[in-house]
Amino acid sequence: MQKKLRVGVVFGGRSGEHEVSLVSAASVIQALDKEKYEVVPIGITPEGRWISSDRSLQLLKAKAGLEREPERFLVPEPNRQALLAAEAGDGPALPLDVVFPVLHGTYGEDGAVQGLLELASIPYVGAGVLGSAVGMDKIAQKQILQREGFPLAKYLAFPSSAYERKPKGVLARLERHLRYPLFVKPANTGSSVGISKAHNRKELKAAIALAAQYDRRVIVEQGFVNAREIECAVLGNDAPIASVLGEIIPSNEFYDYEAKYVDGKSQALIPAPLPKALSSKIRVMAVRAFQAIDCAGMARADFFLSRRSQRVYLNELNTIPGFTSISMYPKLWEATGMSYSALLDRLIALALERHRLMNGLRRAYTPAREWYR
């Protein structure tokens, strides 16, 4: 019999999207084919402790009993490739064949965990350090996409410390270059955490204060009036493919955290009702954007479509999209003809493929002369 792959599913984390991660992970763990994979649940508490047992997900959801769970950790060197117990006697090392980070937000989607896994030489699902970091940082991502010629909403960015020193100057600059309504965002969050829509200066000041609680840098984007929100799922490594498109009809004024996860009233139209030529154009843009920031494995590309001009604007790429039962990424692939479990199989295969490729690269150089002795 073929040996099962041991898959470490990592969830939780030190992030404002901790709870979203738990729901995504529950769906992933349930859908992984137990005939092919031995699943190792790896939970990270909001304080950053790593735990691993069959109860990890349940305990993190209940927010109880976590202190009694033995702590685990990964060693950042390539000879173990295993999850280790922090204390002697707390169980054997668990070698991992591949890791599926179902971590949304800081310390999980931003390249931090990806860097640890690179040092540990463990294959992992999703983008590498660079793609993850750029995908998470809204400012860096927009700067790269802008240089690559993608159509974007007008925006300005600034450190929160600049606003604290000269708030009137920053506000005047924003109002001089951008028109209301404005979207104010922390540079590094997802799931619309810390994001506000401002219609006037009073709301703008409150929005900046909120965003600054989540990041030391703030980005302000000019909003589109009556625009359609279109999403596309991208899958692959060096030769990615795009799914059919979906359209979000948010239940609130914009697709905020409540509209995404809580009230259950937002609608998703899959496939999006768009002309074939326009759909093809957006799918091509999604793949190009995926490649522009060096993504791997998966990403969801989000667009705005002006109802009046029919112009398409790229909003952002999300390198670890939601995997809950209502999340667009798996739903878009299901509509394209790939089931949830088949999608997970493909993502794991892509992770192993990328790891083999990276391991085949030379990491050492022997000088002709031993000048360093």
- If you average pLDDT over residues 254-271, what whole number do you get? 64
Using the predicted structure, report yes or no on whether residue 86 has a pLDDT greater than 90. Answer: no
Q: Which of the 8 DSSP states describes residue 71?
A: B
Q: Are residues 81 and 36 in the same domain?
A: yes
User: pTM of the prediction?
Assistant: 0.91
d(CA 22, CA 42): 11
pLDDT value for 147: 97
What percentage of the chain exceeds 70 in pLDDT? Answer: 95
Residue 29 · residue 9 · CB < 8 Å: yes
Reported as a single tens digit per residue, the pLDDT across 163-175 is 999 999 999 999 9
Average per-residue pLDDT in the chain?
A: 92
End position of a domain, from candidates 222, 253, 280: 222
Q: Is residue 174 part of a domain?
A: yes
Question: In total, how many domains does the chain have?
Answer: 3
Write out the two tokens for 31: 């859908």
Specify whether 107 is located in the same domain as 162: no
- The CATH number of the domain holding residue 265 is 3.30.470.20
Q: What is the pLDDT of residue 255?
A: 47
Give the pair of three-digit tokens for residue 314. 């790229």
Tens-digit pLDDT profile for residues 24-34: 999 999 999 99
Residues 297-342 have pLDDT tens digits of: 999 999 999 998 999 999 999 999 999 878 999 999 999 999 999 9
Identify the CATH number of the domain in which residue 209 sits: 3.30.1490.20
Same domain, 104 and 186: no
Classify residue 133: in a domain, yes or no: no
Residue type, 236: G
Residues 53 and 85 in one domain: yes
Last residue of a domain, one of 198, 222, 246: 222
**Is 237 found in the same domain as 334?**
yes
9 and 120 belong to one structural domain: yes
Please check whether residues 202 and 248 belong to one and the same domain: no
Helix-, strand-, coil-residue percentages of the chain, each rounded to 5? 35, 25, 40
Query: What does the pLDDT read at residue 245?
Result: 98
Q: Within a domain: residue 371?
A: no
To 5 degrees, how large is the angle CA 188–CA 148–CA 274?
Answer: 85
- 292 and 173 inside one domain: no
Q: State whether 310 and 207 are in the same domain.
A: no
In a domain, 66, yes or no: yes
372 domain residue, yes or no: no
Would residue 331 count as lying in a domain?
A: yes
Would 280 be classed as within a structural domain?
yes
Among 222, 257, 280, which residue terminates a domain?
222
For residue 54, the domain's CATH number is: 3.40.50.20
275 and 199, same structural domain? Answer: no
Tell me, what's the pLDDT at 92? 84
Residues 220 and 178 sit within 8 Å (Cβ to Cβ): yes
Same domain, 33 and 117: yes
Tell me if 242 is assigned to some domain: yes
Tell me what pLDDT residue 2 has: 65
Domain housing 176: 154-222
Residue 280 CB neighbour total at 10 angstroms: 13
Using the 8-state DSSP alphabet, how is residue 124 labeled? Answer: B
Reported confidence tier of residue 259, pLDDT bands at 50, 70, 90: very low
Note the pLDDT tens digit of each residue in 168-203. 999 999 999 999 999 999 998 765 778 999 999 999
Residue 12 has pLDDT above 60, yes or no: yes
| Mean pLDDT to the nearest integer, 343-363 | 95
**Angle of CA points 142, 143, 149, to nearest 5°:** 85
Kindly state whether residues 209 and 238 are assigned to the same domain: no
